[in-house]
Amino acid sequence: MIMSSKLILHCFALLIMLAIFLPLSSCDVINYTCRKTPNFQLCTSILRSNPKSGGTDVTGLGLIMVGSLESKANSALQTIKLLLKTEPHLKIPLTQCIKKYSFILKYDVTEAFEALRLGDPKFGEDSMNDSAMVVQECEDGFKHCTSPISNVNKDAHDISAVAAAIIRLLL
């Protein structure tokens, strides 16, 4: 009877230790990974806000970051479409940005997801680097006026750069 009480006590202690240290280890993976990116704050903010990041590996963190870019690009498209109605004098650069964000969603995000799922991270890194470049091209299209989507473009660029850095860790 004493032996089973000690066994129960040890099992209980082990469960408590696991409950305390497992969440810390996922934070360690996030911290370790994000320290290797160009924007630690953005990286940790996005990953910690996603409940799927708690028990995942670097590939999973990469998938989460690519998903974040996908959300940002979809949001950018909605914002740009609204601006087309209120800022008709910006029709040309806004229309170009629609094409660029649509390209990011159709090609770059899709390819990055597929590359990570298939274990071929080089194509994922290239796709995220390309999306950062495409977002910059959108911003550069406003060379004769002030861009009404500079913050959106900066966010999408920075997320792309962080995603590329995370994926690069898998090479």
pLDDT at 17: 40
Domains of the chain from N-terminus onward: 27-168 (1.20.140.40)
pLDDT at 26: 52
With a CB cutoff of 8 Å and minimum separation 6, the contacts of 139 are: 147, 149, 150, 153, 154, 157
Q: How far, in Å, CA of 119 to CA of 98, rounded?
A: 30
* CA neighbor of 166 nearest in space, from 70, 43, 24: 43
Q: Are 162 and 43 in contact (CB under 8 A)?
A: yes
pLDDT at 5: 58
pLDDT at 4: 61
pLDDT at 28: 87
Q: How far, in Å, CA of 2 to CA of 17, rounded?
A: 23
Q: Which residues of the chain have pLDDT under 70?
A: 1-27
